[in-house]
Structure 1
Amino acid sequence: MNTLPETILQEALSLPEGGVLSPKEFLHLGSRSAVDQAFSRLARMGKLLRVARGTYSVPVSSRFGQRAPAVEKLIKALAEQSGEIVVPHGANSANALGLTQQVPIREVYLTSGKTRKLQLGRSEVLLKHAPRWMLALGARPAGAAIRALAWIGQTHAKTSLTSLHRTLPASEWQALIQARATLPGWMAQAIGKEAARA
């Protein structure tokens, strides 16, 4: 029969890259302190990566040694586990939509959950609580457009909306127009003006 650390590691290794585990999932196998101790031991040995409090992932082994899992995969697994909405920050969205050439230095994601930091090896990822309207359309292009506009700000919204009107698929442009009631006044007005020009 497997020991507690072996059982935890076996489960961890069965997960896809970026999959996350919580000690709470193993409380049926032992006391809280025994489970926490097993996780701590596995993390010290380098078999698990402590990403945040109560959240662990398996490092990825390659011919160059071990590395942290891909941020996007880890974020997706975290969102699925917690039931939170987690989406790229407005600066990333603006870059992805071609509205800016700036590439954000720091990895920042917006979440419906609480603000916290994730530690992925040497890099740090910030999950920042965002208002509901920024997350309304999720990860789809219209949602990215909302976050990009929020990051760009009122001053440059008109130019950005002209570009988005040209580049977003028609269904996403319509979703953006329909979301106006949930958005801040200046953004709703700017979208309405751009839609009226069509």
Structure 2
Amino acid sequence: MDQPSSSTADKIIARAQTRGRGSVFTPSDFLDLAERAAVDQALSRLARNGKLRRLARGLYDLPKIHPRLGPLSPDPDHVARALARETGSKVQIAGARAAHLLGLTPQVPAQSDYLTDGPSRRVVLGKRVIDLRHASPKHLMLPGSVAGTVVQALRHLGPTRAGDVVRIAARSLSAADKKRLGASVRQAPAWMQRMLLTIAAVEFDPR
């Protein structure tokens, strides 16, 4: 009776190790290995044995280990993508995190906001909050891309700092990302469209 569960656990930890430390998982990432009940049982066993870490209900990781600090907190983006895979959803960095990733705000936000076309979910990991909010398609432009992050940074900072976003995005986005922005500009709010067209029109500068 115990052997199938052990075999499933071995397969799960082997896959987790292949993906590397810092990877985040949900049971759906392993449903090709066994039935859901067996996967859930194996994940619980691996967490009890310290081979995986349980972050929240149905959410696990293989943490990176710092030589002095021990297990490190997971990357919020990895958590968000794992939750999106669980429901087959798209996800996009939003809010202050989008602005921070573009270098527009120096402070790392305590709350990491994401938009998704799937269900909303909030995960609290110590002092960090990872918040996925369901959004309509008009608010979820170019999900999962750098171009989409630019749109969300603009939305977060508003017209008063739009020039800063334009300068950074025009310099750093690839030609392909700029083309995607230009092609999607009609989905954006009216005040944002001119900004996106300006970014799309600047030739790519790889520096």
Alpha carbons of structure 1 residues 57 and 96: separation in structure 2 relative to 1, 3 Å: closer
Deviation (angstroms), 1:144: 1.4
Match of residue 114, structure 1, among 116, 119, 128:
119
Query: Does the CA contact (< 8 Å) of 1:12 and 1:21 recur in 2?
Result: no
Paired residue type of 1:160? V
1:105 deviates by 2.4
| Structure 1 residues 4 and 126: alpha-carbon distance in aligned structure 2, compared to 1, 3 A threshold | farther
**1:150 corresponds to 2:155:** yes
Instruction: Name the structure 1 match of 2:165.
Output: 160
Please name the residue that 1:50 is paired with: 54
Amino acid aligned to 2:59: T
Partners in 1 of 2:91 and 2:98 — Cα distance?
A: 13
- Can you list the C-alpha shifts for 1:98-142, whole angstroms capped at 9, x where unaligned? 333343222333322222123557744222323323433133322
Does residue 6 (structure 1) correspond to residue 21 (structure 2)? The answer is no
Distance 1:49 1:144, change over 3 A: same
Please list the CA deviations of residues 47-88 of structure 1 after superposition, one character each: whole Å capped at 9, or x if unmatched: 443334333334456655444554444444444453222232
Query: Which ranges in structure 1 are unaligned for 5 or more consecutive residues?
Result: none
Q: In angstroms, what is the RMSD of aligned CA positions?
A: 3.9
CA distance in 1, matches of 2:94, 2:143: 12
- Secondary structure (helix, strand or coil) at the match of 1:136 reads coil
Query: Which amino acid counterpart does residue 145 of structure 2 have in structure 1?
Result: R
How many pairs were matched up? Answer: 196
**Structure 2 CA distance, aligned partners of 1:166 and 1:26?**
43
SS at match of 2:180: helix
TM-score of the two chains, using structure 1 as the length reference:
0.71
Looking at structure 1, the residues matched to 102 and 153 of structure 2 have their Cα atoms a distance apart, in angstroms, of: 8
Separation in 1 of the partners of 2:106 and 2:39?
Answer: 47
Q: Which moved more, 1:86-95 or 1:155-164?
A: 155-164
Q: Which of residues 130, 136, 139 is equivalent to 2:135?
A: 130
Q: Secondary structure at the match of 1:179?
A: helix
TM-score, with structure 2 as normaliser: 0.68
**2:117 counterpart of 1:86:** no
Q: Out of 73, 93, 103, which is 1:98 matched to?
A: 103
How far did residue 3 of structure 1 move?
3.5
Letter in 2 for 1:50: R
CA change 1:63–1:165 in 2 (3 A) is closer
